[in-house]
């Protein structure tokens, strides 16, 4: 199962996320749940890089961790917020159809 943890501050603003595991829906290369999650997450990471102007993530087999840097401008924060909220919407949509293979939870940081 894929575990998606969305890190939020006390104001409810997304401060980062951690995606861990493999869905197990099908064998590697044919797993549509893993593919969907990967597409949503990598699109968000690309948006953070190209549109918000930062790359702040680590990646290993089956694990991606991303944190929002503290020194962003107001414009960067606004863009980051939109990108990360859109990523969460995409993950929730996947979870709605495949809740045996992906679980989203929120942690306050």
Q: How do residues 38-69 score in pLDDT, each as one tens digit?
A: 999 999 999 999 999 999 999 998 899 999 99
19: alpha, beta or left, given left = phi > 0 and alpha = psi -120 to 50?
Answer: beta
Ranges of H-type helices in 1-109 = 32-47, 74-97
Predicted confidence at residue 73, as pLDDT, reads 97
Domain range 2-108, its CATH number among 3.40.50.1820, 1.10.8.60, 2.102.10.10, 3.30.70.1490: 3.30.70.1490
Tokens of 94: 């996947």
pTM over 0.85: yes
């Amino acid at each position: 199962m894929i575990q998606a943890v969305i890190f939020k501050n006390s104001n409810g603003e997304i401060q980062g996320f951690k995606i861990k595991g493999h869905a197990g829906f099908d064998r590697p290369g044919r797993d549509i749940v893993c593919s969907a999650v990967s597409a949503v997450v990598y699109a968000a990471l690309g948006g953070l890089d190209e549109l918000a102007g930062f790359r702040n993530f680590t990646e290993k087999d089956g694990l991606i961790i991303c944190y929002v840097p503290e020194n962003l401008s107001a414009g960067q924060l606004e863009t980051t917020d939109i990108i990360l909220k859109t990523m969460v919407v995409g993950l929730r949509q996947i979870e709605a159809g495949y809740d045996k293979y992906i679980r989203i939870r929120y942690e306050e940081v």
